[in-house]
């Protein structure tokens, strides 16, 4: 459920920037991908996601996209700001090394399975360090 909330808030941030009606657009967008029900419960789902986000961020809890929530959602994610990179540049490296020293073995196994799947469908190779 938390991943739905993160996705919803990401959509709200992008929708706010474009000036579309946030709740209606987010509900419609998520409904196309079965992430949030777009029936009469959609507003309740969105309110729930907003309340959870507002509580986690110590914002005034309203369940709506209030000024404080919109400001936080649209703010940079770290003190460094956005990264500049060439959109059409190509990264030539195909062998990627990874290591999660503090992760439990079950988590490393799950990540390895995901990387194995990527290897099957791409030209990437993943190596555990």
Long-range CB contacts for residues 111-120, cutoff 8 Å, separation at least 24: none
Q: Are 20 and 62 found together in one domain?
A: yes
- Could you tell me if residue 85 is inside a domain? no
Confidence category of residue 54, pLDDT binned at 50, 70, 90:
confident
Q: Are 6 and 69 found together in one domain?
A: yes
38, 30 Cβ separation under 8 angstroms: yes
- Could you tell me if residue 80 is inside a domain? no
Q: Are 69 and 107 found together in one domain?
A: no
Q: Are 10 and 62 found together in one domain?
A: yes
- Could you tell me if residue 60 is inside a domain? yes
- Could you tell me if residue 103 is inside a domain? yes
pLDDT recorded at residue 56 = 81
Alpha carbon of 5 to those of 21, 42, 45, 76: distances in Å?
18, 13, 9, 18
- pTM confidence score: 0.37
Confidence category of residue 119, pLDDT binned at 50, 70, 90:
very high
* Number of domains making up the chain: 2
Q: Are 66 and 106 found together in one domain?
A: no
Confidence category of residue 88, pLDDT binned at 50, 70, 90:
low
- Provide the domain limits for residue 119: 95-128
Confidence category of residue 112, pLDDT binned at 50, 70, 90:
very high
- Could you tell me if residue 7 is inside a domain? yes
> Is residue 115 scored above 90 in pLDDT?
yes
Residue-wise pLDDT for 62-85, tens only, equals 887 778 877 877 777 665 555 555
Q: Are 8 and 66 found together in one domain?
A: yes
With 0-12 CB in 10 A as exposed, 13-18 as middle and 19+ as buried, what is 45?
A: buried
Residue-wise pLDDT for 21-30, tens only, equals 555 644 554 4
- Could you tell me if residue 79 is inside a domain? no
Residue-wise pLDDT for 3-44, tens only, equals 555 555 555 555 444 444 555 644 554 444 344 444 555 556
Q: Are 63 and 107 found together in one domain?
A: no
Closest CA to 69 of 26, 124, 99, 129: 26
């Amino acid at each position: 459920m938390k991943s739905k909330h993160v996705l919803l808030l990401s959509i709200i941030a992008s929708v706010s920037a474009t000036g579309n009606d946030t709740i209606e657009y987010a509900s419609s967008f998520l409904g196309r991908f079965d992430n949030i029900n777009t029936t009469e419960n959609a507003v309740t789902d969105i309110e729930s996601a907003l309340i959870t986000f507002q509580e986690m961020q110590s914002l005034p809890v309203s369940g709506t996209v209030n000024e404080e929530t919109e400001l936080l959602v649209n703010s940079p994610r770290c003190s460094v700001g956005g990264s500049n990179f060439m959109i059409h540049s190509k990264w030539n490296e195909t062998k990627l090394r990874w290591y999660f020293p503090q992760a439990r073995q079950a988590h490393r196994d799950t990540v390895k399975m995901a990387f194995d799947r990527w290897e099957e469908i791409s030209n990437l190779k993943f190596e555990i360090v």
